[in-house]
Amino acid sequence: MDFLYSLLANLNYTAVFILMTVESTVIPFPSEVVVPPAAYRAADGSLNVVLVVLVATLGADMGAIINYAAGYFLGRPVIYRFANSKLGRLCLLNQEKIEKSEKYFNDHGLVATITGRLVPGIRQLISVPAGLAKMNFWKFLLYTTIGAGAWNVILAALGWYLHAFVPASQLQASIDAYSSELKIVILALVGLAVVFFLFKRLRRQRPA
């Protein structure tokens, strides 16, 4: 944790990549404390906001690939055993959370790898059921990149926006204060994504 906090205190592109990789695995670490502060620094010229979003998304992809590989190669018994272990509990995991992510994936199909990246409590774990289901890797990576990219754009926009009137010492408190607005944006994006994929499915089925 000291290493992670050191990275947070010295945010650069490498730190953003490492922290977002960690955030996308089963280790509990919120992206809200990484991307908005990095975008905040970009607003004063210390970083480039486009590169912040790109690097954050690549880091999220890397963490998601680790989870996908765990589900793909280890299988359900090992994953559930880990979730119920002491180490799993240290990572704030349990069987119920894995089951919840599996249900979300099964209910929403491939689109879950996009929308799941935007849903709190599902975001970090949605890659595990994708691996368990042996989802095509390149589709998984594409959909994960879209979902993670959308989430990082939202967070970066928030950090950039707050730079105009929030001092650095109050940044995290302001991000927390905007959490309800973030949830509304997230729900709207998830809804749009679901409607889009349902529309595509209906169009595909129409000739039949």
Query: What's the chain's average pLDDT?
Result: 84
pLDDT computed for residue 201 by the predictor? 66
pLDDT tens for each residue of 51-83 = 999 999 999 999 999 999 999 999 888 888 988
* Beta carbons of 159 and 35 less than 8 angstroms apart: yes
| 147-184 pLDDT tens trace | 899 889 989 998 999 998 888 888 888 888 877 677 67
Give mean pLDDT, residues 120-148: 88
Q: What are the C-alpha distances in Å from 121 to residues 7, 29, 124, 128?
A: 24, 12, 7, 13
**Count: domains in the chain:** 1
For residue 132, give its domain range: 2-205
More confident residue, 111 or 144: 144
pLDDT of residue 138: 94
Amino acid at 49: V
The whole-number pLDDT of residue 61 equals: 96
Radius of gyration for the alpha carbons in the chain, expressed in angstroms and rounded: 18
Cβ neighbours of residue 18 closer than 8 Å, sequence gap 6 or more: 7, 59
Residues of the chain above pLDDT 90, percent: 28
Written as six digits, the tokens of 128 are: 């595990």
